[in-house]
């Protein structure tokens, strides 16, 4: 395998920033890797996309279908999906959550759960009205508008 030329590698500051972002999100990523290990040990599959690992099938399919009632979910730099098609369909939405983990770090999961709990206690939709989901769905809507106007998806604005 050919090593990248110096021109292909990010500058040192970019590599340092990437390392810091990965560490900042690492508590949740560790939970995701544990779920990924359970997924792989139960017949699941793994894929790599940019700075994320995506797991589907096995434990992920069971957990998302029976416990979380979702087709995909993000834990740091790990995305769990029920099937490869679910991962493909939700990838850009889930990458918004990856960026949120990169901003919020270890506070993301508690903040997400507190926001959902607060909404639930007030009789509101604890998923669709969660501010973190509102941001992700707004990004979905923006991409759909661009697609319909002929702008296409373009490159994902993944921060790392």
Does this model's pTM top 0.85?
A: no
User: In the predicted model, what is the mean pLDDT of the chain?
Assistant: 90
**What contacts 24+ positions apart, CB below 8 Å, involve 140-148?**
140/92, 140/93, 143/92
Domain ranges (residues) in the chain: 13-148
Please write the tens of the pLDDT for every residue from 5-31: 555 666 777 889 889 989 999 999 999
Q: How many CB atoms lie within 10 A of CB 105?
A: 17
Please write the tens of the pLDDT for every residue from 27-39: 999 999 999 999 9
Between 11 and 100, the more confident residue is 100
Tokens of 46: 């793994």
What residues have CB less than 8 Å from 135, skipping those under 6 apart? 96, 100
Task: Say if CB 52 and CB 79 are below 8 A apart.
Answer: yes
Q: Considering only CA atoms, give the Rg of the chain.
A: 17
Task: Say if CB 26 and CB 76 are below 8 A apart.
Answer: yes
Please write the tens of the pLDDT for every residue from 116-139: 999 999 999 999 999 999 999 999
């Amino acid at each position: 395998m050919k090593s990248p030329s110096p021109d292909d590698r990010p500058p040192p500051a970019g590599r340092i920033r990437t390392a810091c972002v990965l560490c900042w999100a690492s508590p949740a990523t560790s939970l995701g890797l544990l779920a990924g290990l359970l997924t792989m040990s139960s017949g699941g599959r793994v894929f790599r996309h940019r700075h994320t690992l995506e797991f589907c099938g096995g434990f992920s399919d069971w957990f998302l279908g029976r416990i979380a009632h979702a087709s995909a979910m993000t834990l740091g730099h790990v995305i769990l999906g029920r099937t490869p098609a679910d991962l493909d369909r939700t990838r850009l939405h889930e990458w918004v959550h990856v960026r949120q983990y990169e901003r919020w770090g270890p506070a993301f999961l508690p903040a997400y759960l507190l926001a959902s709990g607060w909404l639930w206690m007030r009789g509101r939709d604890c998923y669709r009205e969660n501010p973190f989901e509102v941001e992700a769905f707004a990004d979905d809507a923006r991409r759909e508008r661009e697609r319909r106007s002929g702008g296409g998806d373009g490159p994902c604005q993944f921060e790392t």
